[in-house]
Structure 1
Amino acid sequence: MTAVTAAAAEQTGPVVGTPYGAVRGRYEKGIAVFRGIPYAAPPFGSRRFRPPVPPEPWTGVRDALAFGPTPPKPPYSDAFAKLLSDPVVPGDDCLNLNVWTPEPGPGARLPVMVWLHGGALTRGSSAVPVYDGHAFARDGVVLVSVNYRLGVEGYGLFPDAPANPGLRDQLAALRWVHESIAAFGGDPDRITLFGQSAGAISIGALLAAPQAQGLVRRAVLQSGPPEAFDRDKVRRMVRRMATRLKVPATAEAFAAVDRELLLRTQADVGRLSSPVLGGPGFGIVIDGELVPRDPLEALVDGQVARDVDLLLGWTRDEYRLWLVPGGLHERVDRLGAVALAGAMARCHCGVEVPRGYRALHPAAGTAETVGQLVTDHLLRYPLHRLADARPGNSHLYEFAWPSNLPDLGSCHALELGFVFDTGDIPEAAKLAGEGAPQELADTMHAAWVRFAVDGDPGWRAWDDSHPVQIFGEGAPYVADGPRDPEFALWAADTATREPAVPVVGTPARGAVELRSVARRLRRTGNVPKSS
């Protein structure tokens, strides 16, 4: 591009063709940015609760200058809104994506990273400021971020509609990227899918989906394992909503309900669920088609995505985002042994597991023991199993830098400002506090870029020594098997499968006690479903 044409492009904005029409973006700090590009038609009217279909083609050049509409979602409670940003952009055309690229136009063949946001499959969007893709494009990566249907719209389970429409949205977006990204300077053969929490869980399902084979070269799962949700828990959410709405639990009936009323009802019913306490919720379910079997088992068996490089990890204190903001942390501490019994019920484990945690961490309070116990069961141990099944092309990390805000520690979602190198914006400081170390952001962000480029983030691949890169205070370092003692407890428990013996009362009583505390807190609006 000559100096004259480059200057003209700066004035008019870059124009790129897509399968459905041309789009015009804008240059921001030397990076071409395209926002709100539709990859599927609006999922409303006759398309509500149905699989996505292609958007209507357009003539001329469509402006892609602002974030597109966000999918319907309830707001966070006040306690969580202080920590997590979740912008709302009104409109129906919510199945859209954004692209940041340093070199728009065919021929560049740059590595591509596709971001799937978290939010418990009920909240979040690609418009969250922390997810700005400028730093990735600055460092030679084409960054794509995606909106997908959430909550009952995306993961409600109905007898008259296909399951998992939100996951089908993600697959449609991934196919769009594979077909279209070369025009934006990306290489469709070097796509890295990365996401956090619900986004990581979604990636696990996509890696195992027959329809997604060959679309992804690498994947990053941050604080979310491959899993399939209990269908009965999703049905209970839908049935409870139907009872409150006084309509049948069908897609046809729900489609006739006012959208805002549906969101309020979903939020109300969803207050009885959380990662630590369990309960009904929305999640990806086995559907016999897109999700033919449990994704973790499919990936561990090696039947799918055999050649996909994996970067897997977690934060040291995931549970603190779930327990601290609403005050549940202190309540669990006071419940003591009853809370431990509830955690055993949640994890379906025997008494030797919590006893082992007590022995390994004698100074830990009950809330910390419960939080780490549940986190390991739901998140860390499954990722550990996945790495064990795929040594050589798996890398693991732990994020251990503590937030500058009181009691949050190295909580769930704290690493995101470091991965995106957006720690200097106010939205990142909501969770990290002021003064987050730029050196740590430089190191983490560079590791994610390196992984997208060649599959090597900069430390040893997984082997029998179980190397884990620790991103904490001071220089990052590799620790061998830092959580092996805890994982050995889970492996032994899985092997024996002895009935759980409560420390006090019964596991059922413990679960009831914990949920009773949570309900009291949620009546005040302090403990919503986590991110």
Structure 2
Amino acid sequence: MDSLDAPGEPCTVRAPAGTIIGRRIGRARRFLGIPFAEAPTGARRFAAPAPRGRFTEPFDASRHGATAQAVPLFATTTVPEPSVPGDDVLNLGIVAPAADDDRVPFPVMVWIHGGAFLAGSPASPWYDGRAFARDGVVCVTVGYRLGVDGFAVLDDVPANLGLRDLLLALDWVQENIAAFGGDPDRVTVAGQSAGGAAVLALLSSPAGGRRFHRAVSLSGGTFAVGGDAARHFLGRLADRLGVPPTRAGFGSCTVEHIQQGVLDLRSERGDDTLVLGPFVGDDILPVPIADGLSVHGHGVPLLLGATGDEFDGDAIPGNPHPSPFNAAELAAARAAGTRVTDTLFRAACPRAALSRRDATAGTWLYSFEWASPVLGGATHCIDIPYFFDVLDAPGVTEALGPHPPAELATLMHADLVGFVRGQEPTWARATGTLGDPAREYGRPGSALVADTTGVFDPVVRAVSGVAEAC
């Protein structure tokens, strides 16, 4: 496998954005930390993102750019999430097939990282696109503003700045990706957790337009934060920081100070709920996401699913999301569809299929069921190394154990690559009907390629023969 630390050989691309110098490592070309917007500092800090001007000098894209995460939200995370200092946090990385690959133009996957809209890092080694480049796909990872800077609900501040960042990044991809061998007419937007929720938000938005053509949501949801709830949290945070809950007040604090305040406040109160995130009521999300899915994005095929246990793994050392229940209680709760996993994540899958039942493009479901022996279940995030086919990446052994099944990674990655290329999944579409089929990955005792029916039955109930999320 290619090494992220290997120096490689310089490779140059001349794009509309300017001359960009990356590194070629094996059969992959890497261009990291490319700013797609002006740095959100000073007057731009709480403003809509401004497109980056054309580079007047060759841009060195040999290392990851600054991350919006300055202070990690959790002491322990399943996904390695490095923080990189700097102001130019609105940047993206590209891993593309070698320039002499004869499969051009390549389909493109734009990846949005998770982190509860408060944290996370596009520089994670779990998001390395080398296997996609190997298989003829350009992989783009995107940074966007987080927490207060990205999703504060304040007077004189545009709502959903983090989503606006992502839309501008997709515009940059449309304008520039052909220079890297990518096909701007075959762009898939994909993400996990908060990133998966952002995918569904963008798919439901009238602003999504023609920026992307397929969508993948891993452990996402139709998450949105009400204005009153956001303002209440911002008021408590401002009190803690000793500033007024205004644009000027928060603007007087450094990003590090604010993120540390969020961390301290959540830790003090034991608050694990979504406190900042997509806001419904502006031009980006004028209606709730589930309602927007019934109107927008009907021509965009959607693949979505969840892990079997998400936040309900065994309470064993090292699990960052343990369940407070014992094994018997968890089994009963899963059968009833009442776990946090079911209500937050798995219910979103039939709900999205139901919202899109009149769409011209299909909706397909999957369920990841392979249980990590380290974390005690098919928990949140552990499907990422399988979809990216990076089982040798740092942190994988610590989360998945010493022998994660390589054949499962081969299968899941091939399914995702096929979808990004424009292929229709081999299993039947979901329509929100009770018993919708889903691709099931890795349940003990079942064939790796088995399709199952009714994987999401516990989180739906029959209403005149139609599935409705509980």
TM (norm. structure 2) is 0.89
* Residues 11, 271 of structure 1: alpha-carbon distance in 2 compared, 3 angstrom cutoff: closer
1:379-420: CA deviations, max 9, x gaps? 22232022234356111100000002052x000111000000
**Selected match of 1:47 from 44, 47, 50:** 44
Structure 1 residue 369: Cα displacement: 7.5
Partner residue in 1 for 2:95: 100
Q: Is the 8 A contact 1:125 1:146 kept in 2?
A: no
Q: 323-332 or 20-29: which moved more?
A: 323-332
* Residues 468, 16 of structure 1: alpha-carbon distance in 2 compared, 3 angstrom cutoff: same
Partner residue in 2 for 1:291: 285
Q: Secondary structure at the match of 1:488?
A: strand
Partner residue in 2 for 1:165: 161
* Residues 404, 74 of structure 1: alpha-carbon distance in 2 compared, 3 angstrom cutoff: same
Structure 1 residue 286: Cα displacement: 1.3
TM (norm. structure 1) is 0.79
* Residues 306, 272 of structure 1: alpha-carbon distance in 2 compared, 3 angstrom cutoff: farther
| One-letter amino acid of the structure 1 residue matched with residue 351 of structure 2 | R
In the aligned structure 2, how far is the partner of 1:454 from the partner of 1:168? 26
Q: Secondary structure at the match of 1:122?
A: coil
In the aligned structure 2, how far is the partner of 1:273 from the partner of 1:467? 40
Partner residue in 1 for 2:310: 318
Do structure 1's residue 213 and structure 2's residue 209 form an aligned pair?
Answer: yes
Partner residue in 2 for 1:305: 297
1:472-498: CA deviations, max 9, x gaps? 145231111223244117999x9999x
Q: Is the 8 A contact 1:104 1:183 kept in 2?
A: no
The structure that has the greater radius of gyration is: 1
Do structure 1's residue 175 and structure 2's residue 171 form an aligned pair?
Answer: yes
Structure 1 residue 315: Cα displacement: 0.3
Partner residue in 2 for 1:59: 56
**Selected match of 1:381 from 336, 344, 347:** 347
In the aligned structure 2, how far is the partner of 1:365 from the partner of 1:469? 21
Q: 362-371 or 151-160: which moved more?
A: 362-371
In the aligned structure 2, how far is the partner of 1:267 from the partner of 1:496? 32
Task: Map 1:96-245 onto structure 2 (within 5 A).
Answer: 96-104=91-99, 108-245=104-241
Q: Is the 8 A contact 1:270 1:281 kept in 2?
A: no
Q: Is the 8 A contact 1:233 1:279 kept in 2?
A: no
Structure 1 residue 57: Cα displacement: 2.6
| One-letter amino acid of the structure 1 residue matched with residue 395 of structure 2 | E
* Residues 331, 451 of structure 1: alpha-carbon distance in 2 compared, 3 angstrom cutoff: closer
Do structure 1's residue 466 and structure 2's residue 469 form an aligned pair?
Answer: no
**Selected match of 2:369 from 400, 425, 430:** 400
* Residues 326, 439 of structure 1: alpha-carbon distance in 2 compared, 3 angstrom cutoff: closer
* Residues 475, 365 of structure 1: alpha-carbon distance in 2 compared, 3 angstrom cutoff: closer
1:107-161: CA deviations, max 9, x gaps? 9221110000111111111100010000001001111010111111111111121
In the aligned structure 1, how far is the partner of 2:176 from the partner of 2:153? 32
In the aligned structure 1, how far is the partner of 2:14 from the partner of 2:391? 33
* Residues 111, 447 of structure 1: alpha-carbon distance in 2 compared, 3 angstrom cutoff: same
| One-letter amino acid of the structure 2 residue matched with residue 53 of structure 1 | A
**Selected match of 2:384 from 416, 421, 445:** 416
Task: Map 1:347-496 onto structure 2 (within 5 A).
Answer: 364=330, 372-390=338-356, 393-407=362-376, 409-462=377-430, 466-472=436-442, 473=444, 474-488=447-461
Q: Is the 8 A contact 1:119 1:197 kept in 2?
A: yes
Task: Map 1:248-287 onto structure 2 (within 5 A).
Answer: 248-271=244-267, 279=273, 281-287=275-281
Structure 1 residue 11: Cα displacement: 8.1
* Residues 372, 35 of structure 1: alpha-carbon distance in 2 compared, 3 angstrom cutoff: farther
Q: Is the 8 A contact 1:126 1:146 kept in 2?
A: yes
In the aligned structure 2, how far is the partner of 1:33 from the partner of 1:496? 42
Q: Secondary structure at the match of 1:210?
A: coil
Higher strand proportion: 2
Structure 1 portions without partners, runs of 5+: 1-9, 334-360, 498-531
Q: Is the 8 A contact 1:231 1:285 kept in 2?
A: yes
Partner residue in 1 for 2:4: none
In the aligned structure 2, how far is the partner of 1:363 from the partner of 1:227? 27
In the aligned structure 2, how far is the partner of 1:104 from the partner of 1:273? 52
The percentage of counterpart residues that share the same residue type is 37
Structure 2 portions without partners, runs of 5+: 1-6
Q: Is the 8 A contact 1:32 1:101 kept in 2?
A: yes
* Residues 266, 489 of structure 1: alpha-carbon distance in 2 compared, 3 angstrom cutoff: farther
Q: Secondary structure at the match of 2:187?
A: strand
Q: Secondary structure at the match of 1:13?
A: strand
Structure 1 residue 97: Cα displacement: 0.4
Alignment length (residue pairs): 454
Larger relative contact order, structure 1 or 2 (CA cutoff 8 Å, min sep 6): 1
Partner residue in 1 for 2:3: none
1:314-359: CA deviations, max 9, x gaps? 00001236976579857556xxxxxxxxxxxxxxxxxxxxxxxxxx
* Residues 54, 460 of structure 1: alpha-carbon distance in 2 compared, 3 angstrom cutoff: same
Partner residue in 1 for 2:74: 77
In the aligned structure 1, how far is the partner of 2:319 from the partner of 2:31? 38
* Residues 54, 433 of structure 1: alpha-carbon distance in 2 compared, 3 angstrom cutoff: same
Structure 1 residue 362: Cα displacement: 7.5
In the aligned structure 2, how far is the partner of 1:272 from the partner of 1:372? 27
Q: 265-274 or 92-101: which moved more?
A: 265-274
Q: 157-166 or 128-137: which moved more?
A: 157-166
Q: Is the 8 A contact 2:461 2:468 kept in 1?
A: no
Structure 1 residue 60: Cα displacement: 2.9
**Aligned-pair Cα RMSD in Å:** 3.0
Q: Secondary structure at the match of 1:191?
A: strand
